[in-house]
Amino acid sequence: MALKATIFKAELCVSNIDRHVYGNFSLTIARHPSETDERMMVRVLAFALNAVDCENERLEFGKGISSDDEPALWRRDLTGAVEDWIEVGLPEERLIRRACGKAARVALFTYGGRAVDVWWAANQAALAKQDKLAVLDVPQDASRALSAMADKKMTLTATIQDGQIYLANEHDAVAIVLRVLK
């Protein structure tokens, strides 16, 4: 018998002070049985950073870890064309190349400390050719602190100001400065 996804609910309030854009989102997050709390919370972080980039609310969670054909997050226009393909983790270079062929913009949020440096050294030359791609690394201490915030029912506040992201719940807050790899 196959294991089923675990459902998490989050109320997310995003304040992007740099862009003067704000939004409230009720999220239902399906965590794949093989997905860690750390990866799931990096997906929530990626959602917070990308949710208020446009006036619409079409950013949604994809199948991600359980499918090569869908990312962790994506935004499609009304015709179904992929505007934003947002992936999390350390995917194979061919998957990122394929995403760049399907989407107008591709963002990759890496995490994992030293493993990111090893992965980037192996893939940097090939990924440098992808003009649509941005690669951002979540520092390991931040991704681990986010993992500790995971709960079946979460109320989260994300504040983005001066290049820093503050993600907080009722008990903890994590200050995050993403490292830009590309």
The DSSP secondary-structure symbol of 159 reads E
pLDDT at 33: 86
Best CA proximity match to 91, nearest among 99, 82, 83:
99
How many residues does this entry show for the chain? 182
Of the two residues 74 and 64, the one the predictor is more confident about is 74
The reported pLDDT for the residue numbered 79 is 86
SS3 169: coil
Q: How many domains does the chain have?
A: 1
pLDDT score recorded for residue 64: 59
Structure tokens of 104? 């107008």
β strands within 17-132, DSSP E: 21-31, 59-61, 73-76, 82-88, 103-111
Tell me which of 97 and 63 has the higher pLDDT. 97
**What CATH number is attached to the domain comprising 38?**
3.10.640.10
Q: Which domain holds residue 11?
A: 7-180
Alpha-carbon span 1 to 69, nearest angstrom:
24
Q: Is residue 89 part of a domain?
A: yes
Residue 126 neighbours by CB distance under 10 Å: 12
Judge whether residue 126 has pLDDT over 80: yes
Tens-place pLDDT, residues 37-62: 999 999 999 999 988 655 555 788 88
Question: 2 in a domain, yes or no?
Answer: no
Residue 68 pLDDT > 80: no
Maximum pairwise Cα distance, the chain? 48
Q: pLDDT tens digit string along 102-113?
A: 999 999 999 999
Could you tell me if residue 18 is inside a domain?
yes
What pLDDT is stored for residue 48 in this prediction? 93
Kindly report the average pLDDT of the chain as a whole number: 90
